Amino acid sequence: MSNIPKIVILGAGYGGVLTALRLQKELNYNEADVTLVNKHDYHYITTHLHMPAAGTDNPENARVSISKLIDEFKIDFVKSTVVQIRPQDKKVILEDGTLSYDYLVIGLGGEPETFGIPGLAENAMNIRSINSVRLIREHIEYQFARYKREPHRTDYLTFIVGGAGFTGIEFVGELADRIPELCKQFDVDPSLVKIYNIEAAPTALPGFDPELVQYGMDVLQKKGVTFRIGTAIKECTPEGVVVGEGEEIKSATVIWTGGIRGNRLIEEAGFETMRGRVKVDEFLRCPGSENIYIVGDNSLMFNPEGRPYPPTAQIAMQQGVVCAHNLVASIRNQPLKTFVFSNKGTVASLGKGEAIGIAFGKKYKGRVAAWLKKMIDIRYLFIIGGIPLVLKKGKFL
Amino acid sequence: MSNIPKIVILGAGYGGVLTALRLQKELNYNEADVTLVNKHDYHYITTHLHMPAAGTDNPENARVSISKLIDEFKIDFVKSTVVQIRPQDKKVILEDGTLSYDYLVIGLGGEPETFGIPGLAENAMNIRSINSVRLIREHIEYQFARYKREPHRTDYLTFIVGGAGFTGIEFVGELADRIPELCKQFDVDPSLVKIYNIEAAPTALPGFDPELVQYGMDVLQKKGVTFRIGTAIKECTPEGVVVGEGEEIKSATVIWTGGIRGNRLIEEAGFETMRGRVKVDEFLRCPGSENIYIVGDNSLMFNPEGRPYPPTAQIAMQQGVVCAHNLVASIRNQPLKTFVFSNKGTVASLGKGEAIGIAFGKKYKGRVAAWLKKMIDIRYLFIIGGIPLVLKKGKFL
């Protein structure tokens, strides 16, 4: 048995990958054993998934093999699914084994929040992983093929997106771009296709700049998206959704982007949670378990005004950097660093050549914003994989 | 009212298109009014449909716009669906109108023969049209995407092809070629995928040369196809098929290629039929209705040994030529020509680079047979569309 501390990182999302990459860089030889556990042997770029979901890009461009990102001489990689976290035993139970740790980093990602809406978990799809977006893409194409054999089923050509947050808006933008291609491919009259974006809040992109929101909605409406804002989905069935006062919208395709909650494994581990998320301390540690760090969607932090930061790739990446720093500092008995979120801005794509965003304290829209979005994506590829990854995947963005 | 005889051709399949093309060439100006009626504004190459069905070729390469084939100065084209044929009134009722005729050519194509097997009509797909093969292709891809979200559902990865005639054999050959690509695209272990080809007759390709049949089955088995020959499908359900003595094979995908019967419109018109097909006279006319010609799948003819010719593209094309000749002869009060089938041979594809066939009285297999198959396809393109069509579509074959 060695006395080298064991660090286990659960999840190779934005938070987990950044933690691993930084540990790989900062740790000295034999200073710690680091193991990264992930369900798949690839990392995926969640902020890019709206494109392969709509079919406007190949899913391959939204994922990177983990062996291309980490140096397996320095970090062990285990492809497995986490079944249980046991803080009291300092163990993680995997589908096919067990790992002991001295320090644990939880970056398992969230789960769709359905707010108890009946039928949503069973009948709606989610933009959450490579597998889930491949399903959405194939499902959509399948509906066009089915319609041609059952032309009375116009519900096959109705697409409902629940939630007009960033994911919902970006997805309807891509889907509206894809529809004319699909209509051509399957000989379908484009006027028969309907895209609904349904949002319970009184505005699309709640919390975002209202002028930009209006611009974005105008762009999307011109592309054929019908917005139902301030309209709650009451129920989701295999036949469609029920909204408002019992109005039924028939559709064979419902995609839910309305919210993210923490991972159930976190609750099951016995941590105190709010919607599955743990309010971490200023060093990103789990209260009462100073050897456990939580990054990304499962980590709850509040801004100076006392409102929770929304779970984004940006905050997860920044958390990964601080988490790795604090792990190294703990091992070296050095003082920990306080996490402070630095908002670099936000850009939402609206489909080809169109976007809205705020960056460097200024508003952007149209082609400039779309270009900014590309730069953000390329910057991310550079951070995780350097120039080679930018050259490999960046040209497709 | 003109006294020019009116010829109406129903269906732009092999028989109908060849009839139209020959009439266009042989008729003098104002000698007859010719109208071609078809459900779609394109002709499709049925013998090529196994490829787009499996996804090894684009459906666009299996169809040709009718306006590219016929000269609309000489022949009128009506895109409509035939609802009823009324021989007593010399009228054809279309979905959206009525046509009167003096001479009628029925080339409406057959329908799948399900032999009364319960559930087959409802739960199985057919390789019969551009729309039906687009459905099969999208359906297959969708099963791979679904499997990744529900990995216990191995029935999503089981593909059942009922019937080991030419269509069934050619389709499993293509499907076996496509599976490795799909497995790669969706990260699926190829060993989980099963292709069953189930045939009730005691051999695959009944009536074909037994040595070539054995060669073909060996090629396909090596590609991963499991044959169940001499095994009848007893029932088809949404969960799969029941064969033999109650054995259930679970599958989300059943494709039925087991037989063709005549079109129900022929029976409804009051003609005497055998499985929906009319035994035509030696001039291809309907007995008792000398102004009605029947070509292709709905026309029943017997070979010198008294066995019916199977419905193929080859016989339909030859019938089209003789039908056109006899129509012109009737108008000119010249003697009619007797139809004699000239067997040019048959080649069945087994997927990329492999085929079996008989042509010029000799047996062919492997690459030579695959090349012969290509030549047959190119010859057909040349017959219907000349060099321009060969250049446009031929390169994809």
Q: Residue B392: what pLDDT?
A: 80
Q: Residue B132: what pLDDT?
A: 97
Q: CA-to-CA distance for B177 and A249, rounded, in angstroms?
A: 41
Query: Which tokens sit at B142?
Result: 């969708």
The rounded radius of gyration (Å) of the Cα atoms in chain A is: 22
pLDDT digits (tens, 9 = 90+) for A202-211: 999 998 999 9
Looking at residue A151, the DSSP 8-state letter turns out to be T
Among B122, B138, B170, B245, the one annotated catalytic? B170
Query: Which tokens sit at A135?
Result: 């399903």
pLDDT digits (tens, 9 = 90+) for B137-186: 999 999 999 999 999 999 999 999 999 999 999 999 999 999 999 999 99
At residue A330, the 3 state secondary structure works out as: helix
pLDDT higher than threshold 80 for residue A154:
yes
Q: Residue B348: what pLDDT?
A: 95
Are the Cβ atoms of A146 and B134 closer than 8 angstroms?
A: no
Residue A141 Cα, gap to closest chain B Cα (Å)? 7
The model's confidence at residue B1, banded by pLDDT at 50, 70 and 90, is very low
Question: Between A and B, how many residue pairs show a Cβ–Cβ distance under 8 A?
Answer: 43
User: What's the whole-number mean pLDDT along residues A351-380?
Assistant: 91
Residue A62 Cα, gap to closest chain B Cα (Å)? 13
Q: Mean pLDDT over all residues of chain A?
A: 95
Higher pLDDT, A181 or A391: A181
User: What's the whole-number mean pLDDT along residues B332-340?
Assistant: 97
pLDDT digits (tens, 9 = 90+) for B187-198: 999 999 999 999
Locate the chain B residue with the closest alpha carbon to A41: B187
User: What's the whole-number mean pLDDT along residues A340-363?
Assistant: 93
The model's confidence at residue A395, banded by pLDDT at 50, 70 and 90, is low
- Contact (CB, 8 A) for A170 and A369: no
The model's confidence at residue B395, banded by pLDDT at 50, 70 and 90, is low
Contacts of B148 in chain A (CB under 8 A): 131, 134-135
- Contact (CB, 8 A) for B219 and B350: yes
Of B134, B135, B145, the CB nearest to A138: B145
Contacts of B146 in chain A (CB under 8 A): 135, 138
pLDDT digits (tens, 9 = 90+) for A155-194: 999 999 999 999 999 999 999 999 999 999 999 999 999 9
Residues from A in contact with B at Cβ < 8 Å: 131-132, 134-135, 137-139, 141-142, 144-146, 148-149, 186
pLDDT digits (tens, 9 = 90+) for B136-151: 999 999 999 999 999 9
Of B134, B137, B149, the CB nearest to A135: B149
pLDDT higher than threshold 80 for residue B2:
no
pLDDT digits (tens, 9 = 90+) for A302-329: 999 999 999 999 999 999 999 999 999 9
Residues from B in contact with A at Cβ < 8 Å: 131-132, 134-135, 137-139, 141-142, 144-146, 148-149, 186
Q: How far is CA B200 from CA B93, B161, B163, B204, in A?
A: 39, 12, 7, 9
By annotation, the residues of A acting in catalysis are: 170
For chain A, domains (ranges, CATH) are: 6-39+80-110+262-334 (3.50.50.60), 114-258+345-397 (3.50.50.100)
Q: Mean pLDDT over all residues of chain B?
A: 95
Contacts of A138 in chain B (CB under 8 A): 138, 141-142, 144-146
Amino acid at residue number B137: R
Residue A230 Cα, gap to closest chain B Cα (Å)? 32
pLDDT higher than threshold 70 for residue B214:
yes
Are the Cβ atoms of A139 and B142 closer than 8 angstroms?
A: yes
Q: CA-to-CA distance for A352 and A338, rounded, in angstroms?
A: 39
Of A132, A138, A146, the CB nearest to B135: A146
Are the Cβ atoms of A142 and B144 closer than 8 angstroms?
A: no
Task: Return the number of other C-beta atoms located less than 10 Å from residue B189's C-beta.
Answer: 8
User: What's the whole-number mean pLDDT along residues A83-104?
Assistant: 97
Q: Residue A115: what pLDDT?
A: 94
User: What's the whole-number mean pLDDT along residues B72-95?
Assistant: 96
- Contact (CB, 8 A) for B322 and B284: yes
Locate the chain A residue with the closest alpha carbon to B188: A131
Here the ipTM equals: 0.86
What percentage of residues in chain B have a pLDDT greater than 90?
89
Residue A174 Cα, gap to closest chain B Cα (Å)? 20
Q: Residue B396: what pLDDT?
A: 53
Contacts of B135 in chain A (CB under 8 A): 145-146, 148-149
DSSP-assigned beta bridge partners for residue B260 = B112
User: What's the whole-number mean pLDDT along residues B252-276?
Assistant: 95
Of A134, A135, A145, the CB nearest to B135: A145
Helix locations, chain B, DSSP H: 14-26, 50-54, 66-69, 120-123, 130-149, 166-186, 210-222, 264-268, 313-331, 366-393
pLDDT higher than threshold 60 for residue B228:
yes
User: What's the whole-number mean pLDDT along residues B35-55?
Assistant: 96
Q: CA-to-CA distance for B118 and B124, rounded, in angstroms?
A: 11
User: What's the whole-number mean pLDDT along residues A192-219?
Assistant: 96
Contacts of B139 in chain A (CB under 8 A): 142, 145
pLDDT higher than threshold 60 for residue B397:
no
Across A107-121, A167-181, A370-384, B263-277, least confident range: A370-384
Exposure class string for A309-318: b at 16+ Cβ within 10 A, else e? eebbbbbbbb
pLDDT higher than threshold 80 for residue A228:
yes
Are the Cβ atoms of B146 and A135 closer than 8 angstroms?
A: yes
How would you list the strands of the sheet with A97-100, edge to edge?
A: A82-86, A91-94, A97-100
pLDDT digits (tens, 9 = 90+) for A101-133: 999 999 999 999 999 999 999 999 999 999 999
pLDDT digits (tens, 9 = 90+) for B345-389: 899 999 999 999 998 889 999 999 999 998 888 888 888 888 888
Q: CA-to-CA distance for B393 and B397, rounded, in angstroms?
A: 7
Of A132, A139, A186, the CB nearest to B134: A186
Q: Residue B389: what pLDDT?
A: 84
Contact partners, residue A138, CB within 8 Å, separation at least 6: B138, B141, B142, B144, B145, B146
